[in-house]
Amino acid sequence: MNLLLAEDDALLADALSAQLHRAGFEVEHAPNGAVAEYLLLKQKFDVVILDLGLPLVDGLTVLKRARAAQCLTPVLVLTALDGLDDRVAGLNAGADDYLTKPFDFPELEARLHALMRRGRPQAPASATMGQLTFDRAARRASVRGATLELSPREWLLLDLLLTEQDRVVGKQRITQAWAQDGGDAGGGSIEVYIHRLRRKLEHSGLSIRTVRGLGYLLENESAVA
């Protein structure tokens, strides 16, 4: 989960970056509006935290220019400006959410995940990749016509890897998907379920690659070769 943090307060930026890293985000810090605008238009981010009171170029201007350039990245405005007019101006400029300082980190994290879920394309009801056929509606997966027997956690893991097949899926994202599904999905570590799923995907033409320090990536072997 790549995040742009546009914040000119160095102490707050350092503390927030550390918390975000622990929550599973890769953080790119912009100390002023000029850097924030450049990064937002040149790099791909999953979500942005934007302070309005940035030097060189204020946050509202950065936001307006980004939206005018058809940048659709979800943006959460994080600012000390808590007046109604300020909130209205931020939302009208293209902000997806607005949170005032001081704030509690759990609320900030929850809002970030909500924005990313909202901005993520809806997964199709069924998918085919390699020799794997995956039917979400029927909750059934098969390889070359043979049904895969998947535990609840294996099913959710495969669903997540397929949905994000062009992205690395981090361990925290996997844990959150399991927690949101609820129920007794069984014990064992993420590595155990990755190992089990790899074995069940043999002869499917797919492989699960471990990206050290980041997570897991589902790849089509014919595309990689």
The tokens describing 98, both together, are 């607005």
Give the whole-number percent of the chain exceeding pLDDT 90.
Answer: 48
pLDDT at 184: 45
The tokens describing 26, both together, are 């890769």
More confident residue, 169 or 7: 7
Contact 40, 70 (CB under 8 A): no
Question: Partners of 4 in the beta sheet?
Answer: 28, 48
Strands of the chain, DSSP E: 2-6, 26-30, 47-50, 75-79, 97-100, 126-129, 132-135, 140-143, 146-147, 206-211, 215-220
Using one digit for the tens of pLDDT, what is the confidence trace for 45-69? 889 999 999 999 999 999 999 999 9
What is d(CA 212, CA 155) in angstroms, rounded to the nearest whole number?
23
Using one digit for the tens of pLDDT, what is the confidence trace for 77-92? 998 888 888 888 888 8
Using one digit for the tens of pLDDT, what is the confidence trace for 107-137? 999 889 888 877 555 455 667 888 999 988 7
**Nearest partner of 89 among 216, 47, 202, 81, judged by Cα:** 81
The tokens describing 28, both together, are 């790119």
Pairing of strands 140-143, 47-50: unpaired
Where do runs of H (alpha helix) occur along 121-220?
Answer: 152-163, 171-181, 190-200
Please state, rounded to an integer, the average pLDDT across all residues of the chain. 86
Q: Which residues contact 74 (CB under 8 A, 6 or more apart)?
A: 46, 47, 48, 96, 97, 115, 116, 118, 119
What is d(CA 133, CA 145) in angstroms, rounded to the nearest whole number?
8
Q: What domains are defined for the chain?
A: 2-119 (3.40.50.2300), 126-224 (1.10.10.10)
